[in-house]
């Protein structure tokens, strides 16, 4: 079940604007799985599917397990096996899932972003303004 966290939603909305991204999510790790706490421009049927992400499933789960960003230049044509059918329903192209780690290296959350264009999401999220935003969210998650 999707339980929106207002602080996470506000951060996500600001991040989408900074990145000029079309859609996004934040999943918090509870136990071994990920649970959706914020979403923007994700179709309701997809919300139902991604409200609970099992350990290691989809882009968010892959980023969780690898403890490193997972990306695709085109969600619609990706053959990596990381993209679940629900992600393709968003209608976006480039996407990235970024794990947020605590000081011990454990996953706290995974932030996901999608764009209506092909390209390299790693370049887009490397901007200093977004890096600062990510640091602030990570700090808030550990507070």
pLDDT for 125-140, tens place per residue? 999 999 999 999 999 9
Please give the Cα distance from 16 to 124 (Å, whole number). 11
Please give the Cα distance from 39 to 94 (Å, whole number). 17
Given a cut of 80, is residue 82 above it in pLDDT? no
Span 25-37, average pLDDT: 97
Q: Report the pLDDT value the prediction gives residue 75, as an integer from 0 to 100.
A: 57
In the sheet with 70-72, reading across from the earlier edge strand, the strands are 52-53, 33-40, 23-30, 107-114, 95-101, 70-72
Closest CA to 100 of 1, 12, 4, 19: 12
Which of 2-16, 65-79, 121-135 shows the lowest per-residue confidence on average (mean pLDDT)? 65-79
Closest CA to 100 of 26, 49, 38, 41: 26
pTM confidence score: 0.89
pLDDT band of residue 81 (cuts 50, 70, 90) is low
């Amino acid at each position: 079940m999707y339980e929106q966290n207002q602080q996470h939603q506000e951060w996500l909305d600001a991040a989408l604007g900074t990145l000029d991204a079309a859609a996004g999510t934040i999943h918090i790790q509870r136990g071994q799985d990920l649970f959706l706490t914020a979403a923007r421009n994700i179709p309701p049927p997809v919300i139902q599917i991604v409200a609970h992400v099992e350990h290691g499933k989809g882009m968010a789960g892959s980023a969780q397990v690898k403890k490193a960003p997972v990306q695709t230049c085109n969600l619609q044509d990706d053959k990596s096996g990381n993209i679940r059918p629900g992600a393709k329903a968003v209608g976006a192209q480039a996407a990235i899932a970024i794990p947020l780690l605590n000081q011990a290296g454990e996953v706290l959350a995974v932030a996901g972003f999608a764009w209506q264009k092909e390209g390299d999401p790693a370049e887009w999220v490397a901007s200093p303004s977004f890096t600062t935003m990510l640091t602030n969210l990570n700090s808030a998650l550990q507070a």
